[in-house]
Each structure stands twice: as structure tokens, then as C-alpha cells.
């Protein structure tokens, strides 16, 4: 077990270093010049295992997705489980991405990263929320409003979750919800 942990830390550190290397920075600058980038906000949460390491691993995986030009991370937010009872508290982090793809393409990449870390379901046998090693949610994608069987934007429950709104407020204080016109700070006041 300790040997596996050391290998895991090495791989995560290596991926994170590669994702933040000067090669990625040069590629990001090229993308920024050649195409208009969209801004997306992702929330990553975990309440099982080494949550901080799992969140770092998710950020590293997201940062090397082909359409991601830049990544900014919020502070970690600790919260009680939302929508179910558990003795395990969550750690959450907001991640702001500059991307050159569609919301559907980004969502597919995010689900790939999530499934590579843990392919287990995030729902209990009765269909409710459950404890999880990792959960990656696409919260918004610019001012896109959409609803498909797999993806709804903006996230339909973001306005109810302080652990989502606090990172949005930190990373994008000027962002307004495209349906309500409210900022994250204004939505936080109503929780």
C-alpha cells in the first residue's frame, strides 16, 4: 500500500508538472492567438480517500485535455454533504478553464478524467447521492444555456450550493448567471 501511494504521488506530480510546463504555456499562447477561447467553470469534489490528492489528480487530468488552454484553481472549500447524510465531509475546488471546444466536447473530456480516477457510480442503489472518491461537474460554459439528457448548463443546482458559488465568486466575480442575471456573490446571499 505505501509503495502504491508513492507511485501514485509520483504520477500525479509528473502529470501536473507536464501540464504546467513551458511547452503547455507556449501552446496556450498559440491557441489564444489563433482562436477565441470560451471560459468554463468546473467544480471538483471528493469525500472519500485522500481527497486533496484525488482533486489534484483531477486538475492534472483536466489540464492536459486537448482543448484546455489554461487552468486557474480556487482555494479548497470544505463542506457538509449536500442532498444526503454522511459522516464524511467534502473537499471542493473550483477550476476555471479557457477552452477552444464545445460544451459537449469539454463535458466528454471531464467525464473521461472522472472515470479514469474512479468509475464507480455517484448514486446509491435507490438513486440518491452517495459518498464518492471524485465528482467533476461542469458548472457553466460562458453564457451558454442548454439542456440535453446528459448536460444542463448552467448547472441546475449551482444556486443552492455554497461550495460551488464560493469558488465561482473567487475566480469569476464578474460572471452573471445567464438566466437570472445574478453574480455568485448575489446567489450566495440567498442561501
% of the chain with per-residue pLDDT over 90: 69
Q: What is the mean pLDDT of residues 25-34?
A: 48
Query: If you count DSSP H runs as helices and E runs as strands, how many of each does the chain have, helices first?
Result: 6, 7
Return d(Cα 139, Cα 159) in angstroms, integer: 10
| Centroid of chain to Cα 82 | 17
CA distances from 12 to 78, 97, 112, 134, 139 (A): 22, 19, 16, 15, 24
Q: pTM of the prediction?
A: 0.80
What is 120-155 written as a DSSP string? S-SB-TTSSB---S-EEEEEEETT--EE-SS-EES-
Return d(Cα 34, Cα 164) in angstroms, integer: 31
Q: Looking at residue 177, what is its pLDDT?
A: 98
Q: Looking at residue 6, what is its pLDDT?
A: 45
Quick: pLDDT tens for 129-168.
778 899 999 999 999 999 999 999 999 999 999 999 999 9
Q: CB-based burial of residue 111 (10 Å sphere; 0-12 exposed, 13-18 middle, 19+ buried)?
A: middle
Q: Looking at residue 128, what is its pLDDT?
A: 74
Quick: pLDDT tens for 48-67.
999 999 999 999 999 999 99
Q: Looking at residue 85, what is its pLDDT?
A: 82
Quick: pLDDT tens for 95-121.
999 999 999 999 999 999 999 998 776
Return d(Cα 139, Cα 92) in angstroms, integer: 13
Q: Looking at residue 92, what is its pLDDT?
A: 97
Cα dihedral: 9, 11, 14, 20 (round 10): -90
Specify the DSSP element, H or E, that contains 30.
Answer: helix 22-34
Quick: pLDDT tens for 67-76.
999 999 999 9
* Least confident range of 39-53, 66-80, 116-130, 169-183: 116-130
Amino acid at each position: 500500500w505505501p509503495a502504491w501511494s508513492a507511485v501514485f504521488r509520483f504520477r500525479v506530480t509528473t502529470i501536473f508538472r507536464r501540464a504546467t510546463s513551458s511547452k503547455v504555456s507556449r501552446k496556450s499562447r498559440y491557441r489564444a492567438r489563433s482562436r477565441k477561447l470560451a471560459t468554463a467553470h468546473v467544480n471538483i469534489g471528493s469525500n472519500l480517500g485522500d481527497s486533496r490528492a484525488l482533486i489534484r489528480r483531477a486538475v492534472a487530468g483536466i489540464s492536459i485535455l486537448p482543448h484546455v488552454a489554461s487552468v486557474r484553481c480556487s482555494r479548497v472549500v470544505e463542506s457538509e454533504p449536500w442532498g444526503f447524510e454522511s459522516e464524511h465531509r467534502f473537499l471542493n475546488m473550483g477550476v476555471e478553464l479557457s477552452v477552444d471546444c464545445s460544451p459537449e466536447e469539454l463535458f466528454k473530456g471531464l467525464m473521461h478524467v472522472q472515470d479514469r480516477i474512479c468509475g464507480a457510480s455517484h448514486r446509491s442503489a435507490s438513486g440518491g447521492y452517495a459518498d464518492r472518491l471524485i465528482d467533476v461537474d461542469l458548472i457553466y460554459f460562458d453564457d451558454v444555456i442548454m439542456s440535453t439528457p446528459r448536460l444542463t448548463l448552467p448547472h441546475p443546482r449551482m444556486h443552492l450550493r455554497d461550495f460551488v458559488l464560493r469558488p465561482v465568486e473567487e475566480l469569476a466575480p464578474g460572471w452573471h448567471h445567464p438566466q437570472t442575471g445574478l453574480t455568485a456573490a448575489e446567489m450566495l446571499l440567498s442561501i
